[in-house]
Structure 1
Amino acid sequence: MIEWNQIDSVLLDMDGTLLDKHFDDYFWEELIPEKFSELKKIPLDEAKRQLLAAYRAEEKTLNWTDIEYWSRRLGIDIVALKESICSRVQVHPGVEPFLHFLKQEEKQIALVTNAHPRTVQIKLGQTILTPYFDVILCSSDIGLPKEEVHFWRGAQRVLQFDKERSLFIDDNEEVLLAAHAFGIKYLFFKTHASSRVPRDDSKNFPSLRHFGELLP
């Protein structure tokens, strides 16, 4: 159980943490390969092979989530394609009651994401979560991905949080390790990032399956 009187700021990842990651898995692993296969007139398996190599080359960089970069690289209008399936965006169970509790407790609530600002706009537009956030910070605002310790130095300058009195939740263990190295005291790993993938607990951080587990 969290001692909420010890926490002033709550930093929350978006994809996989607040939102079901199945949307992204479907988009990048199924829909984009289909469109790329049609565009390049190559078999679907070959399209998937080429895309997987391209994705892996950009992991842990700003390009990884830069939809403008991928639109140029692939010759596909990523924004239009995301908008065409935006009704698939789903909020994880328990998220809204958790945010409501934080608001009542007058905690600083920050969305801290590697996602491109346009992606954030599209996805949050399908939810009622936006009013809960005091600030939305994208990695492109800092110029570094969250996997970098220096990102957190920049985030602290922007958000003015006390790392000894801050809670951060993410479904990416490498991001949590960077936040830990920076010194954020309270860290949770959001398991079950996708509703279609089995639960995957962390070996390094407390695992959170449902946000109700954090409520008093």
Structure 2
Amino acid sequence: MARLDAVLFDMDGTLVDSEKVWDVGLKELARRYGGELSTPARTRMIGTSMAESMDILHIDIAQPWRDPEESVRWLENRVGELFAAGLLWRPGARELLAEVRAAGLATALVTATRRNLVEVALGTIGAHNFDVVVCGDEVGRTKPDPEPYLTAAAKLGADPRRCVAVEDSPTGVASAHAAGCVVVAVPCEVALTPPDGVVEIDSLERMDVATMRKLVAGRAAA
């Protein structure tokens, strides 16, 4: 029976309900430029890099000439203020993370969010809960490319095929699946159409370490 090497967690929308915080910052940024962010554009941003999100926003408000770096600086400062006020856990996330740690399993946080904001968020979710943290500005290609999850597994000395990745967004699911991980998808802000082999659940309250071990063993036996 194949063993479970590690559990790799996404952050925004998976562990913490931070997508709503990003909503506030992005809408404020659009209004700062005299525009209004549309719902379809906001949906396309979920799980993408900061650079991609700024491109989407600028095009959506018909100001493609805007400097993305300037927009990122303003947005990160604003979202950092909101993160510092505290983040809400997604249902079952804190309990699952605690169970994984209590089982002695290696863990990684794998996020498209940049390091400076992740450090603020770790004030809520706890840096001690992760052996490795891989941020969006620390890889050459971010989600949906497999590089973030491959990087996390390599840093842990783990086989991606024996890792469970927990994700909420289409880009995150695609990244973890392409890396060869066993993927547990728990939708938050957008509906998912996960590829074959991805396990979709409606809440992390329905997931535990025993089930993760069975998923990895089942993959190996298939």
Distance 1:158 1:122 in 2: 22
Count of matched residue pairs: 191
Give the aligned partner of residue 208 of structure 1: 201
Q: 1:189 aligns with which of 168, 185, 191?
A: 185
Q: SS in structure 2 opposite 1:11?
A: strand
2:138 counterpart of 1:141: yes
Give the aligned partner of residue 159 of structure 2: 162
Distance 2:53 2:131 in 1: 23
2:66 counterpart of 1:64: no
Which aligned pairs between 1:33-182 and structure 2 lie closer than 5 A?
Answer: 33-37=30-34, 44-45=35-36, 48=37, 63-64=51-52, 72-74=69-71, 77-86=74-83, 87=85, 89-125=87-123, 127-182=124-179
Percent of counterpart pairs with the same letter? 21
RMSD: 3.2
Give the aligned partner of residue 215 of structure 2: none
| AA of the residue aligned to 2:119 | Q
Change (3 A) 1:76 1:22: same
| AA of the residue aligned to 2:128 | P
| AA of the residue aligned to 1:94 | G
Distance 2:113 2:20 in 1: 15
Change (3 A) 1:88 1:27: farther
Contact 2:48 2:171 survives alignment (8 Å): no
Give the Å deviation of 1:118. Answer: 0.8
* 1:78-123, Cα deviation, whole Å (9 max, x unpaired): 3331233232632112111111111110000100111100111122
Give the aligned partner of residue 18 of structure 1: 15
Query: Which ranges of structure 2 fall in alignment gaps of 5 or more residues?
Result: 55-65, 211-222
Give the Å deviation of 1:32. Answer: 1.6
* 1:148-200, Cα deviation, whole Å (9 max, x unpaired): 1344444433232112211001112233233323322x211121x24xx7xx3
* 1:58-82, Cα deviation, whole Å (9 max, x unpaired): x95562379xx97733386333312
| AA of the residue aligned to 2:200 | S
Q: SS in structure 2 opposite 1:85?
A: helix
Q: SS in structure 1 opposite 2:7?
A: strand
Give the aligned partner of residue 40 of structure 1: none
